[in-house]
Amino acid sequence: MPYQHPDVKTLKAIADNWLREPTLNSRKSSRTEAPHDAKALTRLVSTSSWAVQDPYSEDVARFLTCYRKTQTIDLQTMSDIQLEKELREFMVDIDVLFFFSLLTRKVEKESGLEGFVRLRILNELPNGPHCGKYKLEPTSPYIRMYRYNDRGRPQRFEHLLHTLVHEMCHAFLGLFSDQRHPKHREFVNEYGGHGEMFWVLLRFISRKLGAYTRSERWQEESGWLDRECLEITQTRGEPGSWGTPEKTLMGGVLAP
């Protein structure tokens, strides 16, 4: 059994009470024991997630089996429902490995017991170049995925999966971080929700998955990630180096 960091209990309380207290985050309250800013949450993932504790676990092996199987499948032969089911399975695996099973945790909603963050596949063209969007709606947090790009071309599997990880990072930081922390805007909200800790978290997970899969296509997606960071932040220099191994694994921005 994996070790569970005590702070995860606080995060579970946020998920479990979302219906009754949708504005609850990891600020001190009657239901949460301590605040967790985005930097603390990113550090928690980088030090205590199951992927870090045991990179040879059965959960990693299951993810790799599904990844390699899906690489051989023509996703365009799948219906929207089938594709949604396939990506939801990956969402569960990634949640187990990196997000303490919080995003897919069964919680009480108006419609009954269901996963905390819902996934929806859209068979329409997005308004821009990105094929995913996280949104907090009154009934549930949602991740929406477009199976076609804005030119009407099918998204390839690795891009869909990388986008799913991208949106899961948005959901994790958006739902669980202390939004009243003085650096929340810098950590999370800048550049349309693509602040410093978002990039650190996304790059950490992307590189872990790259080490697992040893996939050239996944490495290509990680290369796009660096260019996307530059495109969104419109900044060279330090923001372009957020989340580099030197900073995340050797201390740096994730140091206490």
Summarised one tens digit per residue, pLDDT across range 203-256 is 899 989 999 999 999 998 888 877 777 777 665 434 445 444 444 433 344 443
E strands along 158-235, which residues? none
Look at residue 101 and tell me if it is in a domain. yes
Tokens 């790009």 found at: 149
Look at residue 158 and tell me if it is in a domain. yes
Count structural domains, the chain.
1
pLDDT tens per residue across span 11-66: 998 899 887 775 555 444 444 444 588 888 999 999 999 999 999 999 999 999 99
Look at residue 14 and tell me if it is in a domain. yes
Does residue 187 surpass a pLDDT of 90? no
Phi-psi region of 46 (alpha: psi -120 to 50; beta: other; left: phi over 0): alpha
- pLDDT at 223 (0 to 100): 82
Look at residue 1 and tell me if it is in a domain. no
Look at residue 2 and tell me if it is in a domain. no
Q: Rounded distance, CA 51 to CA 46, Å?
A: 9
Residue 169's closest CA among 134, 137, 127? Answer: 134
> Model pTM?
0.87
Q: Rounded distance, CA 20 to CA 215, Å?
A: 43
- CA–CA distances in Å: residue 124 to residues 120, 151, 240: 12, 11, 32
Look at residue 98 and tell me if it is in a domain. yes
Residue 248: in which H helix or E strand, if any?
helix 245-248
Q: Rounded distance, CA 11 to CA 23, Å?
A: 13
Residue 173 domain boundaries = 7-254
pLDDT tens per residue across span 60-101: 999 999 999 998 888 888 999 999 999 999 999 999 999 999
